[in-house]
Structure 1
Amino acid sequence: MHPATPPTAGMPAVPVHRTPVPRRRLFRGLIAAAVALPLAFGTAACGDDESSSDPNAPVTIEFFWWGGESRAKATEEALKLYTSKHPNVTITPTWQAFDGYYDKLATISAGGNAPDIFQIDDNNLTDYASRRVTLDLTDLVKDGKIDLSKHHAELTKYGQVDGKQVAIASGENTPAIVYDKTKLAELGVSEPQEGWSYQQYFDWAAQVTQKGGGKYWGTMDISSDYKALWLWLRTQGKEFYNGKQLGFTEADLVTWFKLWQEARTKGATPPADIVHEAVTGSVSTQLVVTGKAAVSFMWSNQLSELQKATKNELAMLPYPGDVKGQWPRASLYWAGSRTTEHPEVVADIINFLVNDPEAAKILGTDRGLPANLDVRETLEADISDNSMKATFAFENGLASKFGAAPPVPPKGHNGLRNKLRDIAESVTYGKATPEAAAKQFFAEASAALA
């Protein structure tokens, strides 16, 4: 491995200017009612300061994200570390729960007053980039203001829209099947294997169900999960999207629905009502946690959280099929505002958050494993939690097997993945045939992607 990327504190100072007071007041006013109490720190800049070419002139950066209190605390501490090294910079962080976050961000952005730095995911990145909300980071990366040399190239690519680097991965994760080692041993069933086809996987899951005596099933039914369909399509040489259109056919979707229909016929999956309990993706409702099935389909960085919710030992594997169907996914991104007064300061803060070893220790793995591979190795050395060690080993082991990253989903993806969930469930419940469900999905996709 290469030596760890050094902290950014030693970077040469650049001329910066004070963010205008009206812009900050507008941002604070819009978010105050719906957002948890802002966490502010650092030396406050005087509101009447004139713009200055002094590299030490005070700068204020608005910083917005969603998450729980633990994420808020860690993020605040990391940003406080940055301001301790850059005393002229004041960062005003504001956060809230996920519900309503994008509504608030859309309201703020509509007036051209997006926060200087904000958190975003791949479901919304193209939408914000196409509306010219995000700052184009391409030249800042090219000039070394944001160093991505230690990041997986496909992870970096997955932050690009129309050839522009519009966001930087705050962390990396990958879809994974999480299975119950303890229960499988009790039932006398061997563990699943990497590289199995779906047919092999369903045969194995049906065996688990048989051993479970009608009260325990082999696998969660993920026919309604867009990421599972996407990875399956990639093993068929196709993508979920081709530009702003679907990248697969109605016949492909019929095949996918029938694949899972066959799994139900074999008894590999639970009844529809039990499947429905887990489709939201909440850790507490996953079938490996509730003790109703041997396998749940989750994200790799969720193994530790799942393990805390059960006494049984859990383990992890890639999804069935060719592993090259998977790619390093950005768990979340940092993006900058196109209207920021301080693009180089924004770049320097993002660079610090994704590359500084001290910041990585503070932030941990809440937003996925560190994107910087050298920093990841440093953080891994201090990990004592066995399930988290397994997550690092799993993600690192896939690094050389990943396929090429596809383009980030187009505008409209958020709504479309919800439509897939609802339509697929109609097949699960036996209310629609695979053919009718696929036809409905394609009819609604045209409107969702328009």
Structure 2
Amino acid sequence: MQQGGNVERRTILKAAGASLAVAGLGATATACGGGSGSGDGTVTIRYSWWGADDRAERINKTIALFEKKYPKIKVKTDFQPYLDFWKKFNTQASGGNPPDVFQNAIGFLRKYDAKNVLLDLSEQVKAGNLSMDGFRAGLDKFGEIDGKLLGVPVGSNSMALVIDKPVYTRAGVTAEQGWTWDDFDEAMARIRDRTGRAGDSGMYGVMYLYDLYLRQHGKAFFTEDGLGFTEADLTEWWTKAEKGVKSGVYADPKKVAQIKPKSALSAELAGSEFTWDNFTVRYTSEGKSEYGLAPIPTTDGKKTGQYLGSLMLSASKRTQHPKEVAQFIHFMVHDPEVAKIMGYDRGVPATQAQYDAYQPTDPVNKAIAAYEESLVKAGVLEPITPHPGGADICESAFLRIAEELALGKRSVDEAVKQFFTESKTALAG
């Protein structure tokens, strides 16, 4: 995964997670026009994704393999940074000209299904053009919404605590599966007191971590219809954030903003940072220390609320070539050679065949694989919370308002009221 970028990219990476898992910078290869056919029976499909140049290089290699196996199917490509991708996609979808197949995330499934944009791939499964067998840890159900198959996972990731291992050692802190939030709070204070560094970069703007915290308490960030928590819940969460900054257990938000796009962890402002496990590679690239993955703290010593998130491939309801699109998706999620090319660029491969085909040799990716295996063995994984239409807007609002709160531009009460006001509008749309 390519590192570096701008402030906007770093901010999005910190908080948005599976649905934002691989935002990046990159050149744009523009493809125009709908899927087409030719006199010799060859058809052309359009494939769009968000990501950086290195992702494009990998994907183009996988497309070359696909076109070799399916010489009658040609693939036009289009890739852009995350925000630019969705701006263009919205324009294309509104104009009735979305790409035939595209990278997607769970926060967008209900939104675009409601807009009649997404193809239900169930019929292609029945026709034998796409298999949903062989997926790891229940990921085959990840793209199902209201009985429709709207997305097929290409990789998995889960929330983790990335730690500066030497800092944790110096502080005498050991993070083990089943540790509690009280243990975590004590560890943050110990890191501050024994190393002179904040314990954490400040996790209260990380929506997907808050979702886990809510799930530990029998709630969730989203329900199928809206938000699954109250203003009082969020007030408690953000009040603790404010106190943590004042006491020095969380990094100074102003300093964190100043060093962006570098992370507070790799910039040695904090001893740890909550993020998606497959982002670990960025810290090794940015920082000088040794980094590791630690478990999510719990409320009761057992339930973490975790699930495997995933990027996925979705298809346009307007495609003229549903069979060929399904064959393309099948190839991309099942072919072992694709896994060898893509590695963990989009998370740990979603199917067992691809997982087995790519065996990482570097310490960082080996640690990512081991972490996800540990989650399966610990039995902590649960189904992901459904996301309603408008979830993507709520997510962006949470990130932005949390940052305004951190920088002192809003009080906790103002921030909470603003978030619920914006979310109410988004979820009503």
The answer to whether TM tops 0.5 is: yes
Aligned partner of 1:203 among 173, 186, 204: 186
Decide whether the 8 Å contact of 2:101 with 2:316 is kept in 1: yes
Decide whether the 8 Å contact of 2:98 with 2:316 is kept in 1: yes
Cα distance in 2 for residues equivalent to 1:277 and 1:415: 26
* 1:431 to partner: Cα distance: 5.4
- Indicate the residue corresponding to 2:339 in structure 1: 360
CA gap of 1:204–1:80, structure 2 versus 1, over 3 A, is: same
Unaligned ranges ≥5, structure 1: 1-33, 50-55
Cα distance in 1 for residues equivalent to 2:175 and 2:143: 33
Cα distance in 2 for residues equivalent to 1:314 and 1:153: 26
- Indicate the residue corresponding to 2:106 in structure 1: 122
Aligned partner of 1:313 among 290, 299, 303: 290
2:268 is aligned with 1:287: no
- Indicate the residue corresponding to 1:440 in structure 2: 418
Cα distance in 2 for residues equivalent to 1:38 and 1:246: 37
Decide whether the 8 Å contact of 2:297 with 2:304 is kept in 1: no
* 1:425 to partner: Cα distance: 3.6
Decide whether the 8 Å contact of 1:209 with 1:217 is kept in 2: yes
2:274 is aligned with 1:297: yes
Q: Deviations over 1:387-414 (max 9, x none)?
A: 1100011112212424332344222222
Q: Superposition pairs for residues 412-427 of structure 1, below 5 Å?
A: 412-427=390-405
CA gap of 1:205–1:273, structure 2 versus 1, over 3 A, is: same
Aligned partner of 1:100 among 84, 88, 112: 84
Cα distance in 1 for residues equivalent to 2:256 and 2:27: 34
Q: Superposition pairs for residues 183-332 of structure 1, below 5 Å?
A: 183-185=167-169, 187-213=170-196, 216-276=197-257, 284-321=261-298, 322-330=302-310, 332=311
Q: Superposition pairs for residues 66-85 of structure 1, below 5 Å?
A: 66-85=50-69
Identity of aligned residues (%): 30
Q: Which amino acid aligns with 1:120?
A: N
CA gap of 1:45–1:204, structure 2 versus 1, over 3 A, is: closer
Decide whether the 8 Å contact of 1:220 with 1:295 is kept in 2: yes
Aligned partner of 2:318 among 313, 317, 339: 339
Cα distance in 1 for residues equivalent to 2:99 and 2:352: 29
Cα distance in 2 for residues equivalent to 1:154 and 1:255: 33
- Indicate the residue corresponding to 1:150 in structure 2: 134
Cα distance in 1 for residues equivalent to 2:190 and 2:137: 40
Q: Which amino acid aligns with 2:240?
A: L
Root-mean-square deviation over aligned CA pairs: 2.5
Cα distance in 2 for residues equivalent to 1:257 and 1:101: 31
Match of 1:334, SS state, is strand
Unaligned ranges ≥5, structure 2: 1-25
- Indicate the residue corresponding to 1:36 in structure 2: 28
Q: Superposition pairs for residues 158-169 of structure 1, below 5 Å?
A: 158-169=142-153
- Indicate the residue corresponding to 2:3 in structure 1: none
CA gap of 1:275–1:305, structure 2 versus 1, over 3 A, is: closer
Decide whether the 8 Å contact of 1:177 with 1:298 is kept in 2: yes
Match of 1:123, SS state, is helix
Decide whether the 8 Å contact of 1:202 with 1:263 is kept in 2: no
Q: Deviations over 1:28-69 (max 9, x none)?
A: xxxxxx9723599xxx9875x2xxxxxx82111111112111
* 1:261 to partner: Cα distance: 3.6
Cα distance in 2 for residues equivalent to 1:58 and 1:425: 50
Decide whether the 8 Å contact of 2:335 with 2:353 is kept in 1: no
Cα distance in 2 for residues equivalent to 1:100 and 1:422: 18
* 1:244 to partner: Cα distance: 2.3
Scaled by the length of structure 1, the TM-score of the pair is 0.82
CA gap of 1:266–1:195, structure 2 versus 1, over 3 A, is: farther
Cα distance in 2 for residues equivalent to 1:386 and 1:367: 18
Q: Deviations over 1:332-367 (max 9, x none)?
A: 211111111211111111011011101111122111
Q: Which amino acid aligns with 1:209?
A: R
Q: Which has the larger radius of gyration?
A: 1
* 1:438 to partner: Cα distance: 2.5
- Indicate the residue corresponding to 1:406 in structure 2: 384
Cα distance in 2 for residues equivalent to 1:437 and 1:99: 24
CA gap of 1:82–1:148, structure 2 versus 1, over 3 A, is: same
Match of 2:168, SS state, is helix
Aligned residues: 397
Match of 1:134, SS state, is coil
2:376 is aligned with 1:392: no
Q: Which amino acid aligns with 1:286?
A: S
Cα distance in 2 for residues equivalent to 1:98 and 1:431: 27
Cα distance in 1 for residues equivalent to 2:247 and 2:352: 42
Cα distance in 2 for residues equivalent to 1:46 and 1:248: 50
Aligned partner of 1:350 among 315, 318, 329: 329
* 1:234 to partner: Cα distance: 0.5
